[in-house]
Amino acid sequence: MDFSYSESELLFQTELRTWLEENLPEGWLDGNRNIPADNKGKGEFLRDWQRKLSEGGWAGISWPVEYGGRGATLIEEVIYEQEMARVKAPPVLNIIGTAMVGPTLLDIGTEEQKEKYVRKILNGEEIWCQGYSEPNAGSDLASLQTKAVKQGDKWIINGQKIWTSYAHLSDRCFLLARTENTGKKHEGITAFLVKMDQPGVETRGIRSINDQYDFNEVYLNDAVADDADIVGEVNNGWKVSLTLLSHERVGVARQTFRLQKQFDELVELAETLEKNGRPLILDPIVQQNLAIFRAKTKALLFSYYRHLTNSIRTGKPGPEGSMDKLASSELGQEMLAYAMSLQGAENTLWKEDALVDASWQRDYLRSFGYTIEGGTSEIQKNIVAERILGLPKDIKK
């Protein structure tokens, strides 16, 4: 396996590093990574960052040049995620738009949809959310109950979505609704592009365990969409949804590289904390546990590189991505739990009372979502078992 970059890839990396040094929020590289806690302030901060990324040509880098992207190769995408993880760059507010909705429209959207939405997605003028999960249709997405009924050239949508990230800040939603009941749950589903700022859409924030409001419930009461807002064909939304989900592969790379950074910070934490006047890093048990985490994070990284190499050879991502997602989400949660144990009883302290940077507490609480979002660990295990190991399919009732 060759880990070296080509000359052009090294130039790409240098250009990105230089841009980040010049454009990250003031004090960011010195550790002052303060994002406003209130919804309005956080939204404005992240919109500004999205706009800056777009102006610099660093939003949607894999998109075609004619739509504002760089036409980046898969390796360049990996370099991008690696560098963003290295500096712990602010999150991309329009990640649903740039990573999934935009690429899907570029793949199968109409020319009118591309013209109307794509550039606004890239520059953050319009923020997008994803209307997939429902109270009784999360991992089993095909069981969704939200319905859309045709009335003239309009579609009237009624139902409920849940765990909708950034819906409270979003202008539009890529939404799945049932448009026909054929008796087969994967049929009769249609993908719509729904305007959030309309009387028929109500968003209610969900306070997460880490005191954040990134998730939402979305209620649709006679919400309206036009024929022109349908992606793909009527009743063929399941195929459209698979197209959108296929673009999530870069998210796996993002988490894999963040874990490399997180391990380094875990070592720094062990060097900072003391027991009986001695740094915890000198404790042989702590050293042993850190060595195990070092081995696990490197194994995850090399496994990802192996799967990436296969994707480059075949031209498409394979089911191995489920292995990477499963391993990275489980390992991330495990490492954060260990960071809590290193702090002892002080791990219950919060915010300004915390013994160390309270982001450890916040990230630990957030980590319980790692094994749920993007397909639960149970779903990923089924995919690995069936599509990689060749085991019999799970019995579905």
Q: For 38-81, what is each residue's pLDDT tens digit?
A: 878 888 999 999 999 999 999 989 889 998 899 999 889 889 99
Q: Is 248 a catalytic residue?
A: yes
For 356, the token pair is 């160390």
pLDDT tens readout for residues 207-243:
888 888 888 999 999 999 999 999 999 999 999 988 8
| The pair of three-digit structure tokens given for residue 131, joined into one six-digit string | 């209307």
Of the candidates 125, 202, 248, 265, the residue annotated as catalytic is 248
Which domains can be identified in the chain, with CATH numbers? 7-122 (1.10.540.10), 128-235 (2.40.110.10), 245-388 (1.20.140.10)
Q: What is the spatial distance between Cα 61 and Cα 79, in angstroms, rounded to a whole number?
A: 11
Question: Are 366 and 210 a contacting pair, CB within 8 Å?
Answer: yes
SS (H, E, C) 146-215: CEEEEECCEEEEEEEECCCCCHHHCCEEEEEEECCCCCCCCCCEEEEEEECCCCCEEEEEECCCCCCCCE
Per-residue model confidence (pLDDT) at position 308? 84
Distance from the first to the final alpha carbon of the chain: 44
Sign of torsion, CA 130 136 137 140? positive
Q: Residue 41, Cβ neighbours under 10 Å: how many?
A: 11
Supply angle C-alpha 330, 334, 335, rounded to 5.
120
Q: How many H helices and E strands in the chain?
A: 13, 10
The pair of three-digit structure tokens given for residue 223, joined into one six-digit string: 């919400």
pLDDT exceeds cutoff 90 at 352:
no
Please answer whether residues 148 and 190 qualify as being in contact, where contact means their C-beta atoms are separated by less than 8 angstroms.
yes
Cα 258 from Cα 35, distance rounded (Å): 18
**Residue 245: pLDDT band by 50, 70, 90 thresholds?**
confident
pLDDT of residue 115: 94
**Whole-structure pTM value:** 0.86
Rg of the chain taking only CA atoms, in angstroms? 22
Question: In the structure, what pLDDT confidence band is assigned to residue 23 with cuts at 50, 70 and 90?
Answer: very high
Q: Residue 286 is encoded by which pair of tokens?
A: 């702590």
In this predicted model, which residue has the larger pLDDT, 314 or 200? 200
Residue 143 pLDDT greater than 70, yes or no: yes
Q: What is the mean pLDDT of the chain?
A: 90
pLDDT of residue 397: 52
User: Mean pLDDT: which of 31-35, 100-104, 183-187, 355-359 is highest?
Assistant: 100-104
pLDDT at 43: 86
Q: Are 118 and 128 in contact (CB under 8 A)?
A: no
Predicted confidence (pLDDT) per residue in 88-128, tens digit: 999 888 989 998 899 999 999 999 999 999 999 998 899 99
Q: Name the token pair of 152.
A: 């003239």
**pLDDT grade for 17, boundaries at 50, 70 and 90:** very high
Question: Is the dihedral angle over the CA atoms 92, 365, 173, 105 positive or is it negative?
Answer: positive
Largest CA distance in the chain: 75
